[in-house]
């Protein structure tokens, strides 16, 4: 096998696609025989070119798991000693790393079984070698071994700590310092004991030194490892001690530097957000809140790059800074609000419109966390924001509209008492020349009206005139936001909405029969709005015209659009509440739809990397680099189809509403409902659990009907 395998390895590396494909197929067949292991080891040690030696190690890493138990003790010993020899005397860094990766896989089986007692002593010896290559590869192996035998390092923790700290401070080799940084990250990830985590605080000064050196050398990807390490430290319950100040200082240096990549700066900003969330007392104790805000607030005014897509990027510095300020406001409101108000008061007077925009944005962002403090400062706050709503720059007006919407959500009920000055300003902004400002203004209007009652009545006619006009002559996104605003107005006005209901419902009929993919969000919003209007005007006016809307709503289920189904279940819930026992006639049509949504596969899954499978090797894709090679399946990600999750929650709520309002008429569906609700009461997501428990309470009076 050995001679033919060598030729095949060489052939795999040839540029001829057909020849390479044939060689790969033959290697797959040969690799089913355990004797491929000693053959690959032979070529790993003796092949003339580094590419062939590396390829032998990559394939060995892929196949060693399946064959290890079948090998004799002599062959196993040969494999282990050959790998150690490769790491020690091999000249090619790529081959050394490939060999180290094989070691980490074998160690998973050999170390717990006590079959490789010399491995750790060898690594400690290698990590203290005078040769830079040896120190580096030993650290690489330590990193890799944490994934397979991390638990066994516990007994060596003190020695490892001393070793890693020494290597982080290596005076002669940047490569060793970088490898040590990566190793620290790997070890910390697998360290759970609080006392052990605390010991990593000693590493922080050296981690910061290495990271600053990497940034100076343009190695931002390596420096980013520091943020991953600090993430682990921050999320641990172990205190950070005095080191929190140096971490914050480093993070502020990075996020303030426009020379660095957006992703690097975003990591630095995100780290401060984690500190605000998990270690807010440490920020308070070390008097770091004001220094952080002195950097974050100007970042709100940072202009986007020339590429306009950056404005919408989740990595954009202004957006990330807003998230930090929001988190700090929630956790440290008393310390955050005074400097924010000062920043907003000064920035609204700046010539640069980005600062005026930042002024309004900052006030909107902190309104959730600082609501109590803001209620006492409503006049100066509204002076700033309503002034910004009249600014000559659309970005400033848009930020002001956003802020008013936030105020309407979080500064209740005090904000509503200012309706006489706020509502006319919002009405004026609905005519803004910018569609973006209009959309934010409709959001503000919807949020504001949602909490109003009879106070809305003097504004009802001009409001509905404007909203109905927009509904007929605007882009889809504006129409959707407009529908939300109409829903809020209808909820506030109740019976006073009756004169406008017929026109609104006629328009909704148009939206509720749209079938193009790009129109389905609008159809969903229209379906929701009909349910809200029905609640406002009552059964007597809705019952005669309801069948057409029910039919249109049911037909939407054939369009396979989760958001439409979600909103339709909400519509059915509202109609059931409005119709009460009169809704029983629709149960045979709508209950099966709710059951179907409840039983959907939500798509939650473990994404398994099975690329190592023989049938999925795809021609050894990327075989010349072993960095992404895996010998056995691993979990890469957990994915959830959130749209279906929301649909499940809405359908679960609908089941409860049907039972509550149709009473004994719901008896035929109780048994199946009970199965679903019991199952959903232990669902992984709280939204579905809450609706299931609520629905169970609503159905419980009728459980006797099951007997």
**Domain coordinates in residue numbering, the chain:** 1-116
What is the reported pLDDT for 501?
94
What is the reported pLDDT for 705?
58
pTM of the predicted structure, to 2 decimals: 0.74
Burial 441-466 (b: 16+ CB within 10 A, else e): bbbbbbbbbbbbeeebeebbeebbeb
What is the reported pLDDT for 8?
84
Phi-psi region of 219 (alpha: psi -120 to 50; beta: other; left: phi over 0): beta
What is the reported pLDDT for 163?
85
**DSSP conformation class of 639:** E
What is the reported pLDDT for 633?
41
Pair of tokens at residue 699: 């159905």
Long-range (24+ apart) CB contacts under 8 A made by 302-310 are 302/258, 302/354, 303/354, 310/262
H helices then E strands: how many in the chain?
36, 2
Q: Is the bond preceding residue 413 a cis peptide, omega within 30 degrees?
A: yes
For residue 81, give the nearest of 30, 115, 131 by alpha carbon: 115
249: CB partners within 8 A, 6+ apart? none
What is the reported pLDDT for 310?
45
What is the reported pLDDT for 563?
94
Q: Which residues of the chain have pLDDT under 70?
A: 1-3, 150, 190-197, 238, 303-314, 602-642, 701-707
Long-range (24+ apart) CB contacts under 8 A made by 174-177 are 174/213, 174/217, 175/132, 175/136, 176/132, 176/135, 176/136, 176/139, 177/210, 177/213
What is the reported pLDDT for 642?
63
For residue 59, give the nearest of 92, 85, 37 by alpha carbon: 37
573: CB partners within 8 A, 6+ apart? 531, 650, 653, 654, 657
What is the reported pLDDT for 624?
37
């Amino acid at each position: 096998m050995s001679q033919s395998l060598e030729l095949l390895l060489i052939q795999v590396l040839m540029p001829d696609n057909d020849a390479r494909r044939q060689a790969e197929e033959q290697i797959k067949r040969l690799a089913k025989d355990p004797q491929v292991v000693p053959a690959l080891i032979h070529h790993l040690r003796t092949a003339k070119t580094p590419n062939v030696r590396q390829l032998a190690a990559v394939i060995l890493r892929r196949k060693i798991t399946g064959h290890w138990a079948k090998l004799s003790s002599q062959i196993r010993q040969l494999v282990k000693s050959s790998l150690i020899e490769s790491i020690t005397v091999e000249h090619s860094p790529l081959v050394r790393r490939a060999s180290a990766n094989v070691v980490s896989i074998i160690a998973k089986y050999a170390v717990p079984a006590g079959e490789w007692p010399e491995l750790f002593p060898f690594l400690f010896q290698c990590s203290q070698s005078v040769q830079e290559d040896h120190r580096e590869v030993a650290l690489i192996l330590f990193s890799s071994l944490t994934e397979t035998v991390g638990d066994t390092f516990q007994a060596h923790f003190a020695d490892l700590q001393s070793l890693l700290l020494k290597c982080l401070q290596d005076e002669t080799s940047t490569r060793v310092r970088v490898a040590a940084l990566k190793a620290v990250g790997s070890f910390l990830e697998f360290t759970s004991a609080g006392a052990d985590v605390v010991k990593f605080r000693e590493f922080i000064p050296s981690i910061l030194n290495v990271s600053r050196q990497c940034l100076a050398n343009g190695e931002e990807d390596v420096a980013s490892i520091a943020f991953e390490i600090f993430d682990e430290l921050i999320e641990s319950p172990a205190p950070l001690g005095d080191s929190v100040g140096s971490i914050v200082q480093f993070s502020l240096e990075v996020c303030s530097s426009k020379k660095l990549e957006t992703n690097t700066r975003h990591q630095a900003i995100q780290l401060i957000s984690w500190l605000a969330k998990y270690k807010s007392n440490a920020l308070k104790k070390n008097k770091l809140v004001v220094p952080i805000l002195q950097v974050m607030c100007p970042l709100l005014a940072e202009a986007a790059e020339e590429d306009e897509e950056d404005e919408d990027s989740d990595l954009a510095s202004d957006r990330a800074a807003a998230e930090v300020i929001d988190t700090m406001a929630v956790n440290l409101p008393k310390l955050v609000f005074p400097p924010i108000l000062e920043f907003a008061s000064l920035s609204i007077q700046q010539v640069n419109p980005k600062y005026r925009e930042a002024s309004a944005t900052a006030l909107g962002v902190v309104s959730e966390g600082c609501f109590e403090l803001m209620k006492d400062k409503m006049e100066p706050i509204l002076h700033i924001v309503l002034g910004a709503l009249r600014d000559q720059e659309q970005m400033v007006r848009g930020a002001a509209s956003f802020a008013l919407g936030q105020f309407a959500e979080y500064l209740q009920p005090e904000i509503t008492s200012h309706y006489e000055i706020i509502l006319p300003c919002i009405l004026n902004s609905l005519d803004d020349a910018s569609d973006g400002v209009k959309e934010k203004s409709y959001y503000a209007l919807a949020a504001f009206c949602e909490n109003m009652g009879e106070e809305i009545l003097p504004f009802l006619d001009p409001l509905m005139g404007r909203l109905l006009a927009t509904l007929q002559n605007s882009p889809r996104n504006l129409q959707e936001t407009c529908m939300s605003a109409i829903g809020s107005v209808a909820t506030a006005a109740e019976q006073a909405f009756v004169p406008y209901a017929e026109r609104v419902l006629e328009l909704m009929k148009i939206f509720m029969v749209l079938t193009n993919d790009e129109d389905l969000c609008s159809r969903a919003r229209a379906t929701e709005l009909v349910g809200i209007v029905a609640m406002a005007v009552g059964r007597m006016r809705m019952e005669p015209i309801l069948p057409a809307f029910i039919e249109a709503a049911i037909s939407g289920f054939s369009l396979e659009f989760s958001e439409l189904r979600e909103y339709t279940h909400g519509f059915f819930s509202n109609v059931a509440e409005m119709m009460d026992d009169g809704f029983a006639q629709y149960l045979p049509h709508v209950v099966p739809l709710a059951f179907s949504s409840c039983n959907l596969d939500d798509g939650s899954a473990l994404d398994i990397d099975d690329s190592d499978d023989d049938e999925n090797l795809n021609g050894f894709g990327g075989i010349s680099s072993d960095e992404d090679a895996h010998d056995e399946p691993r979990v890469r990600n957990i994915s959830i189809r959130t749209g279906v999750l929301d649909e499940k929650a809405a359908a679960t709520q609908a089941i409860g509403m049907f039972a509550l309002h149709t009473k004994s008429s719901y008896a035929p569906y109780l048994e199946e409902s009970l199965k679903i609700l019991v199952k959903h009461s232990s669902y992984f997501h709280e939204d579905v659990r809450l609706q299931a428990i609520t629905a169970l309470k609503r159905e419980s009076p009728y459980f006797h009907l099951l007997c």
